[in-house]
Structure formats: C-alpha cells, structure tokens
Structure 1
Amino acid sequence: MFSKLALLTLIAPFASALTLHTPAQLTPLALATLTWDTAPGDPELFTLEIVNEEFNDAFAIASNIDSDQGSIIVIIPVVPVRGGYTLEAVNVANTNDVYSQTGTFNVV
C-alpha cells in the first residue's frame, strides 16, 4: 500500500489536467471556437492539432496558445470530410507529447 501511495505522489505532479472539450462537428474553412479547462500546474503554452487516424495525419491549427485563455477562435483547415477526428493539445516543442485529446467528432 505504501509503495502505491509513494508512486502516486511521484507521478501526480506530471499529470496534466488540461481538458479539451469535444466539438459537435467542424467545417473546413469555417471559424470554430474551441474550448478547454485547466488546473494549476498545467503547461502555460500548447499547440492545437486536428487529427484523424484513418489517414494517419495531424494538422496544427494553432500554436503557442496561452492555456489560461480557455478558448480560441480558429479557421479549420481543409481536411477530408469524414468522421473520426479528434483535437489534441500537444507540447509546443514536442508534438508527440500529448497533454489532452477530445473524443471523436465529424468534419462536415
């Protein structure tokens, strides 16, 4: 029991509470307001990507976002119309370091 508690104490400071909200749907070349919640200790800046695993690609839609803003208005890039998209908040310097991911949504 003690070792589990000690491990939790060690990793807790590294867990991000940054939570992206899942949009209902997005449209290419349209404005979209994207929102998130933060907690103390979250990264100050992040990059926002739109991802679809089907075509194994991610597109950065905003970079160096101040996490304290709580929302941003962006123009959605031209991406294939389909389902299965997610948004990811990633480390500005290392896009493989994912802070948060939404549930899936459609681009229509």
Structure 2
Amino acid sequence: MDKVMRLATEKGVVIFTKSSCCLCYAVKILFEEIGVSPEVHEIDTDPDGREMEKALTRLGCKAPVPAVFIGGKLMGSTNEIMSMHLSGSLTQLLKPYQTSSLS
C-alpha cells in the first residue's frame, strides 16, 4: 500500500495500468487528448505488481486497473473517469495538469 500511495502522489496525474489492458489504453489516450501527460505505472511489469493490485482494490478501486489518481486522490477506474469526462468535470479537474493547449 505504501508503494502505491508514494507513486500516486509523485506527479499530478498518475495511472496504474497493465500493459495488455485495452481499457487502460483507452484511458491513457483520453488523457493525452485532453492535453495531460500522466505518469503511468504498469503493474504487470513491476515485481511488486500483485501487491500493488491488492492495494488498489483495498483503496476502493472496483477494477484494479486502470486506477486513476489526480492530485494524489483516487478518482476511480474506467467507468468513473468516463462518467466524469462525459459530464465535463474531468476536463475542469485536469486544467492545472495540461501540458498543451487545446484548440
């Protein structure tokens, strides 16, 4: 749990993923399209990956990946992120972390 929390707060936007997960890929692309470059941690390539997955579940992620943290706070997985995006609240939340201007 300590490793997950440390990594989740190292950068403004952090996503825990698995390299073979298509939903993880979709969430990463969404953030890039919004103009945010998240810190991505692929837990299936980390020696502590199984423990990290358990920690993400204990933190409240219904699906352990993708697990999205914004400003060190767990925002959720694909369903929560897509709901926020469709309501417009995700873009507002990500404004401080945008690295490129949107047209």
Q: TM-score range by the shorter chain?
A: under 0.3
More strand by share: 1
Largest Rg, 1 or 2 = 1
Structure 1 or 2: larger helix share?
Answer: 2
TM-score (norm 1): 0.25
Task: Tell me the TM-score normalised to structure 2 length.
Answer: 0.26
